[in-house]
């Protein structure tokens, strides 16, 4: 049973606008959440993370929001750039363990 | 150049073949992982090695056999695979097995089983 869900397989956003990628999880034991970005023919690369003791973490154009009561997190990219076009994976882990649970990914396309 | 290198990048094999995937990390990490990414499925953790000892085996069929001779190298030995084993196999490394730090992935080995 999938514990991390990314229900939007794809998203298209215009350059300069905000991209919002969503992720839902079912396991209340998850306490650390990460976003990875993957370009074609490359491995995923770490983007940003958030601990369950926070509700927001910001790094430049990327902000992750965590709503524990709703078991929902989102990644905001502002402003979006064509180079942000990639597949974004949400991942979660319980008790800072190593067993990362990944979502299926959302393919983001940023158009000029 | 990525800090985690996987070879071969592409592999086609028959069901009776024996082949191996290789992973090498140049980051000084002490934990290494094998993940499987099948079409339209999330990345699935297969094996975890910490300090060359296997610490996780996620109910992976025995036709997949990992080997970690040292903290920089990880192999995945393949034998009598099935067509449904066709997937992208990703190696990753980290400093320690906790993931408050991130995993560093290789570019993956695309496996096709005929």
Chain B positions touching A96 (Cβ under 8 A) are 98-100
* Alpha-carbon dihedral angle through residues B106, B107, B109, B110, given to the nearest 10 degrees: 150
Residue B34 pLDDT: 95
Cβ within 8 Å, pair B56-A99:
yes
Low-confidence ranges of chain A (pLDDT < 50): none
Q: How far apart are CA A58 and CA A88, in angstroms?
A: 17
User: For residue A82, what are its two tokens?
Assistant: 């064509």
pLDDT at B1 over 60: no
Which stretches of chain B are assigned E, i.e. beta strand?
4-7, 10-13, 18-25, 31-37, 44-50, 53-57, 64-70, 73-79, 87-94, 104-105, 109-113
Using an 8 Å Cβ cutoff, are B29 and B97 in contact? no
Residues of A in contact with B56 (CB under 8 A): 98-99
Decide if A4 touches B, using CB distance below 8 A. yes
| A101 vs B: CB within 8 A | yes
Please give the residue of chain A at the shortest CA–CA distance from B106: A43
Is A93 in CB contact (< 8 Å) with chain B? Answer: yes
Decide if B90 and A45 are in contact by the 8 Å CB cutoff.
no
Distance from CA of B85 to the nearest CA of A (A): 18
From A36, A41, A97, residue closest to B107, measured CB to CB: A41
Exposure string (b/e) for B103-114, b if CB count within 10 Å is 16 or more? bbbbbbbbbebe
Q: What is the pLDDT of residues B54-100, one digit of tens each?
A: 877 778 999 999 999 999 999 999 999 999 999 999 999 998 776 66
* Residue A48 near chain B (CB below 8 Å): no
Residues B13/B21, Cβ–Cβ less than 8 Å: no
Q: How many CB pairs under 8 A join A and B?
A: 65
Nearest residue, CB atoms, A43 vs list B40, B44, B107: B107
B63 within 8 A of B78, measured Cβ to Cβ: yes
Looking at residue B50, its pLDDT comes to 86
Token couple for A35: 């976003």
pLDDT at B44 over 80: yes
Answer yes or no: is pLDDT of B114 > 80.
yes
pLDDT digits (tens, 9 = 90+) for B6-37: 999 999 998 888 999 999 999 999 899 999 99
State residue B95's pLDDT score: 87
Extract the tokens encoding A28. Answer: 């209340």
Per-residue pLDDT at B101 exceeds 90: no
**Closest partner CB to A46 (pick from B6, B48, B103):** B103
């Amino acid at each position: 049973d999938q514990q991390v869900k990314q229900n939007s397989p794809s998203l298209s956003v215009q350059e300069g606008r905000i991209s919002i990628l969503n992720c839902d999880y079912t396991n209340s034991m998850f306490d650390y959440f990460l976003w990875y970005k993957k370009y074609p023919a490359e491995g995923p690369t770490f983007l940003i993370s958030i601990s369950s003791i926070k509700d927001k973490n910001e790094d430049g154009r990327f902000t992750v929001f965590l709503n524990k009561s709703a078991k929902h997190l989102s990644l905001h990219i502002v402003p979006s750039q064509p180079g942000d076009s990639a597949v974004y994976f949400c991942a979660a882990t319980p008790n800072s363990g190593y067993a990362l649970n990944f979502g299926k990914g959302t393919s983001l396309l940023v158009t000029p | 150049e990525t800090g985690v290198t996987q070879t071969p990048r592409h592999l086609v094999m028959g069901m009776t073949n024996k082949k191996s995937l290789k992973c090498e990390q140049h980051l000084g990490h002490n934990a290494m992982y094998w993940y499987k990414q099948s079409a339209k499925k999330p990345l699935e953790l297969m094996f975890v090695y910490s300090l060359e000892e296997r610490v996780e085996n996620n109910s992976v069929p025995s036709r997949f056999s990992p080997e970690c001779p040292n903290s920089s190298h990880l192999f995945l030995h393949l034998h009598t695979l099935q067509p449904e084993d066709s997937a992208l196999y990703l190696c990753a490394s980290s400093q320690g097995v906790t993931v408050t730090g991130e995993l560093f992935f290789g570019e993956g080995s695309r496996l096709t089983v005929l």
